[in-house]
């Protein structure tokens, strides 16, 4: 496989998603006294679902990965035990998605922008009618570039407290960082908002991993139970093992390193070199 091509990233992204969601589904589908959320359905929300067509590079799509693990839970714990919500803003893409994954009583499709108040209200209604504030929930935030980041403060307000997530961040797709700093400043807020939500749950942490020497500067932000730190770091390593330049990672709890990696991703090389000492 050629290094530095988009296929490395799609394959890696889907391996990562599969491992992260597979672990959540594995824990939730086992009936154990340690599982806190036994009576509640698991919500899997794909905020940027795409068309559901398997990728040429991975053989999968994110809706398929989410449905696969939801089906494992349903097989063990009943039809209503896992709810999948797929959101796609582009009309033609949504039409294809609907054909690939028709709506059922445990799969909801929403045509619209995940940042739109009406879409957030629809998500809130599904969660309210089917779950509880303590329901387990996983959110996939997979836009084409970091400027389309879909997790907003308004969305976080309606999501259950113990929500975990995977965000893909294409920080220099098509040379995005040529934008003036003023136009990139809001990117820091996107991460800040999510980081604040993670910090508000004492038992959660977040891992940021960026592909070294990647022109498009793809990075992956996983929020997870803190006790899964080793597993998540291992997931990233496994998912991107073919990326020969390697991966650079930082935990949110290691705030200096985390902030430094964020700055490296969001600032131009010159801005980053001038700002390395900023705490
Ligand atoms: C990278 S593709 C998704 C690929 C898909 N998640 C997968 O892995 O199979 C990004 C998709 O997200 C959609 N999208 C981007 N921002 C969105 C938003 N705010 N709300 C809904 N859809 C969005 C785009 O239209 C595009 O189809």
List pLDDT tens digits, range 128-158.
999 988 899 999 999 999 999 999 999 999 9
Q: What residue owns the CA closest to ligand 1's atom 14?
A: 48
How many angstroms separate the CA atoms of 210 and 220, rounded? 6
Residue from 55, 84, 89, 110 whose mutation best tests the ligand 1 pocket (most atoms within 8 A of CB): 89
How many angstroms separate the CA atoms of 253 and 66, rounded? 28
Mean pLDDT on 76-102: 96
Beta-bridged to residue 141, according to DSSP, are 167
Specify whether the CB–CB gap between 122 and 83 falls below 8 A: no
The mean predicted confidence, pLDDT, of the chain is 93
Please give the structure tokens belonging to residue 50. Answer: 């795409």
Mean pLDDT on 161-173: 95
Mean pLDDT on 92-104: 98
Give the model's pLDDT for residue 37: 55
**Confidence category of residue 2, pLDDT binned at 50, 70, 90:** very low
CB atoms within 10 A of CB 57: 17
Which atom of ligand 1 is least distant from the CA of 48? 12
Give the model's pLDDT for residue 34: 63
pLDDT tens digits, one per residue of 62-78: 999 999 999 999 998 88
How many angstroms separate the CA atoms of 2 and 116, rounded? 38
Which atom of ligand 1 is least distant from the CA of 50? 27
DSSP 209-244: EEETT-TT-EEEEEEEEGGGHHHHHHHHHHHTTT-T
Q: What residue owns the CA closest to ligand 1's atom 10?
A: 143
Q: What residue owns the CA closest to ligand 1's atom 17?
A: 48
Give the model's pLDDT for residue 39: 66
Of residues 122, 108, 201, 215, the one with CA closest to residue 160: 201
Considering the chain, what percentage of its residues have pLDDT values greater than 90? 86
Domain layout of the chain by residue ranges? 6-30+38-272
User: Does 3 have pLDDT greater than 50?
Assistant: no
Give the model's pLDDT for residue 91: 98
Instruction: Report the topology of domain 6-30+38-272.
Output: Rossmann fold (3.40.50)
């Amino acid at each position: 496989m050629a290094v530095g091509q988009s296929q490395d990233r799609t394959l890696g992204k889907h391996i990562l998603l599969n491992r992260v969601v597979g672990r959540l589904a594995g824990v939730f589908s086992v009936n154990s006294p340690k599982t806190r959320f036994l009576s509640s359905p698991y919500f899997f929300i794909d905020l940027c679902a795409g068309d559901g067509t398997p990728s040429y590079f991975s053989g999968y799509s994110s809706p398929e990965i989410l449905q696969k693990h939801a089906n494992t839970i349903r097989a063990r714990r009943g039809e209503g035990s896992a709810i999948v919500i797929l959101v796609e803003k582009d009309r033609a893409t949504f039409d294809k998605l609907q054909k690939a994954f028709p709506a059922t009583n445990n799969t909801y499709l929403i045509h619209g922008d995940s940042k739109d108040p009406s879409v957030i209200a629809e998500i809130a209604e599904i969660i309210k009618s089917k779950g509880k504030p303590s329901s387990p929930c996983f959110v996939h935030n997979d836009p084409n570039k970091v400027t389309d980041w879909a997790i907003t403060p308004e969305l976080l307000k309606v999501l259950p407290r113990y929500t975990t997530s995977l965000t893909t961040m294409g920080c220099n797709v098509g040379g995005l960082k040529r934008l003036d700093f003023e136009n990139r400043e809001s990117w820091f807020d996107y991460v800040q908002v999510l980081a604040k939500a993670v910090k508000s749950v004492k038992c959660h942490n977040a891992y940021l991993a960026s592909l070294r020497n990647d022109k498009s500067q793809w990075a992956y932000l996983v929020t997870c139970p803190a006790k899964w730190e080793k597993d998540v770091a291992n997931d990233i390593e496994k998912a991107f093992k073919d990326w020969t330049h390697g991966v650079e990672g930082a935990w949110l709890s290691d705030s200096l390193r985390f902030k430094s990696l964020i700055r490296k991703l969001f600032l131009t090389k010159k801005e980053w070199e001038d700002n390395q000492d900023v705490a």
